[in-house]
Amino acid sequence: MPREKAERIIPLAPLDRLIRKAKVERVSEKAASELGKILEEIGLEIARRAGELSIHSKRKTVTSRDIQLAYNQWKRP
C-alpha cells in the first residue's frame, strides 16, 4: 500500500460514493483519493478555526456552532 494512503483519514469508499452522487459515469481511484486530500485539508482548517473559537468562548469542547461559524468565516471572500 502506498505510504500516502496510510496517512489518510477519510476512507476511499465514501469519497467514491460522493463523486458518484454528482451523476458522473466513471471515477478513477486516484480521483477519490485526490478529493479526500482536498476535503481533509479544508476540514483541518475549519477544525483549527473552530478550536480557536471554542477557546475564545472559554470552552474545552468544540461544538457544532463553532464549526458553523468557522466555516462561515473561512468561506467569506
Binding site for a copy of itself (CB under 8 A): 9-11, 14-15, 17-19, 21-28, 30-31, 33-35, 38-40, 42-44, 46-48, 50-51, 54, 60-64, 66-68, 71, 77
Q: Closest distance between a copy of itself and the C-beta of residue 2, in Å?
A: 13
Query: At 24, is the secondary structure helix, strand, or coil?
Result: coil
Q: Which is nearer to a copy of itself, 1 or 75 (CB)?
A: 75
With the C-alpha atoms ordered 32, 38, 44, 47, is the resulting torsion angle positive or negative?
A: negative
Closest distance of CB 73 from a copy of itself, Å: 13
CA distances 50 to 10, 26, 32, 47, 74, Å, are 19, 35, 26, 5, 10
Minimum Å gap between C-beta 20 and a copy of itself is 8
Q: Are 18 and 35 in contact (CB under 8 A)?
A: yes
